[in-house]
Structure 1
Amino acid sequence: MATSRRSKTSARERLGTYRAKRDFSLTSEPAPEVPASRRGSSPIFVVHKHDATRLHYDLRLEIDGVLVSWAIPKGPSYDPADKRLAVQTEDHPLAYASFEGHIPEGAYGAGDSLLWESGTFDTVPPGQASEQLARGRLHVALNGEKLKGEWHLIRTRPVGKKAQWLCFKAKDGTERPGYDVTEERPESVKSGQRVTRGPRRTRRTSAPPARAKRPARRKVQARTPGALLEKVWAPMLATLAQVDATEGNDWRFEVKYDGFRALAAVQGERIALQSRGGKDLSARFPAIARALETLGEHEVVVDGEIVALDAQGRSRFQLLGKGAEERFVIFDVLWLDGEDVRSRPLDERREKLEQLLARVKPPLELAERVGGSAKKALAEARRRGLEGVMAKRVDSPYTPGRGADWLKLKVQANQEVAIVGFTPMANERPELGSLLVAVREGDTWHYAGKVGTGYSTKVRRELRTLLSRDVVKKSPVQDAPLVMDALHNEEAFWVKPRYVAQVAFTEWTEDGRLRHPSFQGLRTDKRPEECVRERPRSTPVRATRGPHRRTGTKARKSTRAAGRTSVARKKDPVAPSAAPVVLTHGDRVLFPEPGFTKADVFAYFRDVAPLMVPALEGRPLSLQQWPQGVDAPGFFRQEVRGAPDWLTTVCIHHETRSLTHVVVDRPESLLWLANQSAFTLHTWSSRVPHLEEPDWVVFDLDPGPGGTFDDLIQLATSLRRHLEALELTSVPKTSGKRGLHVLVPLAPGHTYEQVRAFALETFEALARKHPELATTERSKDRRQGRLYLDAEQNAWGKTVVAPYSLRALPHAPVSTPLAWSEVTSRLEPRRFTLATVRRRLDKVGDLFAPALAGGQKLPGH
């Protein structure tokens, strides 16, 4: 084997540049003489996520006793067509492979350096690292946690003392176009840290000599922030769409925030903050206005959303102005230092925005991107309890008005509606019973229905007082019911359309009414005339532009490697909405003791569908059916038979056979099950198409034959404290019988093996702490009446009873989500029944939503 000239140079000599650039009394980086700890004989590689002058990724390969290093600004890509710039930097010592920390201000490379990836590598063919490096053509096979498969590193030309290379994925079967590993897996493999902190920028306290000439360097000089906003007005708007509309193009996805759209202009210490309709927002949000002054080094116009955050950090429109933490989430830049950048491609504007906001702190925030395909991005939003995602075409300019380059993909539908009337509370209290709402069609109002849920008592009274001032004799809506009391047995008051409400709903009916609408709040930033029915686009947006400016290749449909589980879906992705489910034999009594009929169960599932569907979507189900009622024998089914064509099903290959499971992804699916008397639903902990990745850890606590409910409460409380000590949030719910379920929501990427191991470790710790109450002993003879803690509920294919599911007991109990403050000795699960749960939901809302939020990693992962 030939020996390269480089290999003859000692490692100490090759690390001279590394040593000369660093003051080891200042930085915690390892000095060249620090020995490296090794495991195994294979060459190692690491990738550091380094937030220095700008965020970049440092790839380091062990070659000839040192870590040969390249700075890759965009990080590695799984797309062979995406050739990333890689600038070769100084060699690093092998001890650097375990380094992670903050390089202090004033030191070379100041900022956070996270150990983003580590593993072993070899060349293709093996053992030729020195020779390939000398030739400037490295072909490496990486075996890490995030990077697996083959990559090419090709030297192009030297620039000064640094050589430029191209880094790109080899076509070896592991490529994944459309998968952004840096966005999907931002965390450190050493500490789990996700967010980086760069060097502090010192703000100038006095103007430099060149400042007087600054206007001459700008293309245009606006005199005031308000005038600057006018120069780039109006805002770009998005079109409501379905996932299929993103097919065949290159898209980026961001979290869809639920708040007030706002544009801000900054010039020095002067700012303008306006709503989409041009209203001044600086007085209403003074903290945000003050925070924008920190951008005063630049003349800039940015676009974003003012939001209020709930306890899980999610934006909630209804919390604005209610004392919740407020943020200005910025997602675009329109003007920067004298230049109108709206014509620049989206990715270029995003790059400028990231640089602009690199050092901002709350209440300013950069909009979060979501990796993967549209389906995966929307599934991630659903897991986290978000409103949805924004799909933006990578090469699109910022164009005023509504178009097809920005698309809104929603988890749950919502709509802005004009308030055209109300009905009072039936009990004669001075409260509003429901809102009567409409949408604009041309020059007329179209009646959109009644909104009767989503209000607190305080809001009902405030709305009644507010709307009573605008009562008119004649309805402003042409197609509204002429006699409301004849239709609904209620008195109606019509009002002049002056206010806009935002409502969540499940779908539009054929006659243009909102199905299951729920009030979310008033929108003071919108005019009633803007309330036009949003119709989602389903046809793909055609690409009209030429080759992508960076890769020189046409945008193409994203593909993703199939998971280990073979799954076949029975649902046409562009199938029309399901036909209404017709109830049959509604008078059949299913719960004889309280007298609840099949019609009562059907109505219950219809009412709780807005809460159950998000929890069940994508999850295979097993069913318990009770066609003759709970006093007669029932049936347990994993496989569904005789399903209508529109019902989503999933064929899963189990160890010995394939089974077709039903998947609930719309209210009609629940109603179809109710009509089959299948009202006890058992759900998987993972979703299609990622059935190998559970969304949560399940802790199933059941007092068993000899245990008491007080024992159960004591164990549940102890479990909660144990999880909180690990900084893990958990969500309790009743099983519907005597037990409790405690769920720990997880970020994507965990396996069932990891989750089961964590559950077993936690249960063993709980059993050691309470040996008189609980045990992990499998043998019933050895349990001695103690509560059995079973971690096997966290195995692939195991199920847990779904939230809000009915159980087949005489009093019609419901598996009901709880607040931890309710898990005390006073808790009585028997009171959560078909007769009481709906009233409870009106009062407490959806307590299960945090279980869908995800975002948590288990210790050591």
Structure 2
Amino acid sequence: MATPRRPSGSARERLRTYREKRDFTSTSEPAPEVPAPRGGSGPVFVVHKHDATRLHYDLRLEIDGVLVSWAIPKGPSYDPADKRLAVQTEDHPLAYATFEGRIPEGSYGAGDSILWDSGTFDTVPPGQASEQLARGRLHVALHGQKLEGEWHLIRTRPSGKKAQWLCFKAKDGTERAGYDVAAERPESVKSGQRATRGPTRRTRSAATAKSARKKSARKASPSRRATRVRTPEALLERVGSPMLATLAQVDATEGADWRFEVKYDGFRALAGLQGGRVALQSRGANDLSLRFPAIARALETLGEHETVVDGEIVALDAHGRSRFQLLGQGAEERFVIFDLLWLDGEDLRALPLEERRERLERLLARVKPPLALAERVEGSASEALAEARRNEWEGVMAKRVGSPYTPGRSATWLKLKVQANQEVAIVGFTPMANERPELGSLLVAVREGEGWHYAGKVGTGYSAKVRRELLSRLSRDVVKKSPVEDAPFVRDALRNEEARWVKPRYVAQVAFTEWTEDGRLRHPSFQGLRSDKRPEECVRERPRSAPVRDSGRKAASSRGPHRRTGTKVRRGAAAAGRTSVARKEQEATTTTRQGRTPLVALTHGERVLFPEPGFTKADVFAYFRDVAPLMVPALAGRPLALQQWPRGVDEPGFFRQGVKGTPDWLTTACIHHHEAKDLPHVVVDRPESLLWLANQSALTLHIWSSRVGHLEEPDWVFFDLDPGNGTFDDLIQLATSLRRHLEGLELTSVPKTSGKRGLHVLVPLAPGHTYEQVWEFAHSTFEALAREHPELATTARAKRERQGRLYLDADQNAWGKTLVAPYSLRALPHAPVSTPLKWSEVTRRLDPTRFTLGTVRRRLDKVGDLFAPALAGGQKLPPSSLKRRR
């Protein structure tokens, strides 16, 4: 048998395979031309712990200007009797000796790669690395942090293009039979990271992956590789909206596990780093880099990482406390970072809070001001708030252990405040009484529904300079009519006609003591203008007092009568037989034990569920994991009905309302249905719940329009448009007319595909509407639509009366009815997805079949979460539409 020889030629030639396998606009691995940092004496060796298709250890030795590499599935052993397989792989550049990070999905070797060991080495006898490699018999002495002593590497035979070797310990007095160094020392020697995660997206088959890599290699030679323009701004756009906290009282933290941080008083900011460039943006995606250039420059010190971090830009007083009014006034400024959303190609938002924090601490381990890590506060909620009072902080943030990072307002992040403050819209002002060219007071309001509610007059907290500046700004926006309807104060409170009304353009932050019974601010004091907020966002914050239920526990609802006969929410098995107190509205209660964030294992991932495109159960599992940051907020709190296809969509599936045999950590709600049955429904409140459903082959998820705790109050009106035997053009015409009708009532709506041929249109509502009211509104709207298009649509229930027209069914708004969840799969051969839309997309060119398991993730990267407005609420149905039909 011919002995394979090591590659000859320059290091550039030997790194050709390494280059061809990687896209350096995507991966953070070093390109061959990146210079290697030098330090210490002697050639280097490293071992990477690489969680790719399988967890393995990559041994790399510096020989002839490159890192010669072997993949050792079980890692090096201190026992000379353990002869470990070592497969020689492509040579790596010397700069790879310091690499650690996550190789992004879709890239060669995708998954975590941590620096498990590093040091120097030489051969025995010294200086013969090139010759021993050529002979296929290496005897090396390693001087690392974990590996110390001599090892043998013996080539056995070639295996295709990769030579197989054996790696085993030499008997030099350092051997340790029975000592498993990989198990005893799992951590990185660079960052301390212990756990690793493999790729989150699986290819459909090894043959498909191999074919795709070959095709990619043919198209992407070094001189002609297609380049993708990626910027930090695009990275921030991909991550989307930040997570927001809910104002709460201490009682809201009872019965769950929370971590506490200092609440900083400043500008919320997201920072993106990519390719050495930095983007610093406000919550509303406005550029902050010019306003805070020192912070933008400091972010560059995070180096080669591709990352998105979330934090607060603050100004510090003489005692090191953040004070909003000091921003831009020459005080010392900081960017206090409290969350990590993206790192080196991996979207971290679905990870539990504590794991994101651990990674953030490693990332910021060596940063210096003006960058800082958010300060943790130990103890209970009461103890943390007491600490805030002693230090004169604004308050503390409470963040629930195990919670993912989800866009929008969330009950898993709570604001516990020492001093009350509120963002208000400026709707007017009064001039200074002594006729100086200064502002006397601001007239402010908060948003209520579609209008403004007067919140009072703010007369203190200004310097003379600020009074002049505000007067100059506001004088340009004076209008004749007050934008506030409930403002009887022009004569009564001010006792003169000197109020000047302005168009609401500016937002002020004010401190105050309490709200009065008529909704006014007591003792308000001006703190500054907020350029990062819009007036429409100024809604009165009402602190939550009810406990936030732990997402890691089963939730069941207290028994008690609802307004609907025979629709009672009851406790699950853990509380069966108990007597509970009846009340008008039921809050879901949490009954199961605490636990760590569950690890959901995928079983039978190779099983093909969609035979036509070849999508497997592993593909479905990866899809649910990827869309969890968007899907969990839409599903949270809603009872589910499931459609499962364990043998694939070509075989019979089944529909389930209730579930049995669920794991202890999975949240369920036991609901009493009209069939006199108590059925436990799955409630998705964390990404792991979605993964558990994926592993049950639950492809299609049907959700209630209301949430546990408020099952009688739907969150939206649901219009289901199904073409039936009609044409899709007819459906588009009806959808357009429906939107026009709703806009005439000043109601916004959100469209999505059903996943099949139909469209769903949702009108988000403020709390307090009943199913009866929603049904009445849907029915009257559909009747109006049928009158406008009698040749296309009808509300007639009997099929013989429809005459081929599209049936408009308002009964989908009844209690207990469900709709297909956004981003849910449908059991059709091409794996379609129910996909939220922009109204501008609802035209005759719309093709719902384009949105599939294979395509929709690229769309979401581009357009973000179009379903979020459906969760915003805030709208009230017009009273004229709620008259009961006779």
Q: TM-score, normalised by structure 2?
A: 0.40
Q: TM-score, normalised by structure 1?
A: 0.41
